[in-house]
Each structure stands twice: as C-alpha cells, then as structure tokens.
Homo-oligomer: A and B are copies of this chain.
C-alpha cells in the first residue's frame, strides 16, 4: 500500500498557522484534555551535549480522540549565535494515532513551539488574569517576550506594555516591535521591580537561574505567568512567590516539580500543597481567580499535549502545502 508523507517547511507553516485566537482555542482544548486524565504523556526526554553547549528535548503526547500524535524534537545550541545561527531549532513529526505511520514532517525550526508556547500564555491569562488589564509587563526581550505579549493581547487587550531586560538595547528594540505590532504604548523600565508594580499582568520569559521577580513586589490584582523555566536549575520567581500568591497553577505537576518554578519552591519549603493544573482551571474542575484583588501565578514548562494539539491543527489547515514524498 503506497503512502505519501508531507514535508512542510517553516515558510510554508507560517502561511498556514499563526498566533491567533483560533490557535489559543486549540491549545486551551489540549489543556482541558490533559485535565481529563486520559492523555498519555511520557516524561520529557532530555540529552545534554556539553562540548557544543547544546541540549535536546523530545516531547510527545497522545490525546484520545485526536487522529494523530506529534513527536517534537527541540535542540538548543547556545553557541549558535556566534555562527550566525539561531540557538533554537528542531522539527515536529505527526503520526497517525491509529497506525503509527508518519503523516507529515514539519521542518518548523521551532516556529510551532514558539506559537504553542505563546498560546499557552494566552490560555493562562484568559483564565487567571484580572478582567481589566491596562498595563502588561514582560521580563525578557527575546522571541517569546514578543510572542507572549501578542498572545496576551488577544485575550486581555491592554493599552500599555512595559519591557525590562538585562540588555537595555534589546529591551528598547523589543518595546519598539511591540508598539508596532500591537499599536499600544510601550516603555522600557529601568528595573524589574518598577515593571511588576505598575502591571496587572507580567510574563517572565528568561532562562534565569537566579530569580528575576521577588515576592515582595507582588501586589493585589496581579497575574504572573512564568514560562522561562523548562529545565532543572532554571528559576525565574523567588520561591516565596508561590505561597505569597492566592493561587498557583502549573501546566503539569509532574513537569513543574522537575523543571518549573515548583522545583525551587519545594526545595525552599514554600510550595503550595496539591497545586492545580491549568487544564483543571479550564474545565472548571478547580477554581481559578476568586476575587479581582487576587494574586495568581501560572508556571508553564511546555507539554507534549500542546505539541500534539498544534501539529494536529496544522494538519487540518494544510491544504496542498508542502512537498509529498512517496515513503512506501
């Protein structure tokens, strides 16, 4: 029986899917499925290549009812910029959930990961942030800083964005890009504390190993999404934040306790007991924000369920895009 596999490049994928409300809805549904308890999601596979200052992560998940499942390989090689190459690359493979046959290879160079990660930030904001967000702040100045603010703006159309990063030049560029993309006011802050105190919603998007956001800065009517930590050793929030907040939510407890903010908080003895997962908030199984003045935190490490969801979404919108290869 002959079988064609579709090979789709990043440029082709960018024509097919974007960071929009539809993508946010797709990722929200993946979190809801994850809360249902029927998703099969093995632990993240991780490999370090110390000689090249590189690491590789593999994620996957099977979501019952979905026609396919994705296997996603994300290499991060942090000396690449010296060679004129981006640090993050990789691809996703979509398999049939009925036969295991390869359906498509998405040579996305990390693009699909970028938008499914940003979309998760929007899901967290939709369910946890105060209703009225006038000012949003982002700590970090990279690709995700821009995408997270664009994603949040879909669900909380703020008027002003504040940016802080260690490199003032990069912060200025990030603020200018966000101003142009969203048509909002954009300011660079001189320190992270000012940014947090002035915002109703903050996203941290750094690879920090020392916290960039202190518990003392938390204030009523604030939501914080920490999405930078995705490996043991990374930490963006001071450990005390997690119990100082009225509600702490993570994407997956089994991942957050290994590679998210929950890890350091547990080590410091300041972790909430029985933390909720974002999918439980989405389905209503656990309560979200209770009062306008609440402080909420979302801790996102990135799940294979998001990868299966975005890859499946791409498949439904692919049309004739890509190059078919006769594989059998």
The answer to whether B71 touches A58, judged by C-beta atoms less than 8 angstroms apart, is yes
Say which one of A83-91, A123-131, A220-228 lies at the interface with B: A83-91
Minimum CB–CB distance for A33 against chain B, Å? 14
Which B residues are in CB contact (< 8 Å) with A52? 97-100
Given the complex of chains A and B, what is the CA–CA distance between A41 and B83 in angstroms? 27
Given the complex of chains A and B, what is the CA–CA distance between A224 and B52 in angstroms? 40
Nearest-CB residue, chain B, relative to A44: B45
> Which of B7, B56, B62 makes the CB contact (< 8 A) with A100?
B56
Give the dominant DSSP class at A's interface: strand
> Which of B7, B9, B69 makes the CB contact (< 8 A) with A49?
B69
Which B residues are in CB contact (< 8 Å) with A5? 107
Residues A97 and B49 in contact in the complex (CB < 8 Å), given A58-B71, A71-B56: yes
The answer to whether B83 touches A99, judged by C-beta atoms less than 8 angstroms apart, is yes
A1 within 8 A of B: yes
Say which one of A72-80, A259-267, A273-281 lies at the interface with B: A72-80
> Which of B41, B62, B98, B105 makes the CB contact (< 8 A) with A77?
B98
Complex interface bits, A2-19 against B, C-beta within 8 A gives 1, otherwise 0: 000101011000000000
Leading 7 A-B pairs by shortest Cβ distance: A75-B100, A77-B100, A45-B45, A107-B327, A42-B47, A71-B73, A49-B62
Given the complex of chains A and B, what is the CA–CA distance between A75 and B98 in angstroms? 11
Given the complex of chains A and B, what is the CA–CA distance between A54 and B100 in angstroms? 7
A31 within 8 A of B: no
Q: Which of A10, A41, A58 has the most CB of B within 10 A?
A: A58
Residues A102 and B98 in contact in the complex (CB < 8 Å), given A9-B326, A42-B45, A60-B47: no
Given the complex of chains A and B, what is the CA–CA distance between A90 and B100 in angstroms? 8
The answer to whether B60 touches A89, judged by C-beta atoms less than 8 angstroms apart, is no
The answer to whether A64 touches B85, judged by C-beta atoms less than 8 angstroms apart, is no
Q: What 20 additional pairs, Cβ within 8 angstroms, besides A40-B48, A45-B60, A323-B325?
A: A1-B84, A5-B107, A7-B105, A9-B327, A40-B47, A42-B46, A47-B69, A49-B97, A52-B98, A56-B60, A56-B71, A58-B58, A58-B60, A75-B100, A75-B101, A77-B98, A80-B99, A83-B99, A91-B105, A109-B327
Nearest-CB residue, chain B, relative to A328: B109
Interface of A toward B, CB cutoff 8 Å: 1, 5, 7, 9-10, 40-43, 45-49, 51-52, 54, 56, 58, 60-62, 64, 69, 71, 73, 75-77, 80, 83-85, 89-91, 93, 95, 97-102, 105, 107, 109, 323, 325-328
Which B residues are in CB contact (< 8 Å) with A61? 47
Given the complex of chains A and B, what is the CA–CA distance between A43 and B327 in angstroms? 29
The answer to whether B89 touches A102, judged by C-beta atoms less than 8 angstroms apart, is yes
Which B residues are in CB contact (< 8 Å) with A48? 40
> Which of B1, B64, B84 makes the CB contact (< 8 A) with A51?
B64
Which B residues are in CB contact (< 8 Å) with A100? 52, 54, 56, 75-77, 80, 89-90
Given the complex of chains A and B, what is the CA–CA distance between A101 and B87 in angstroms? 9
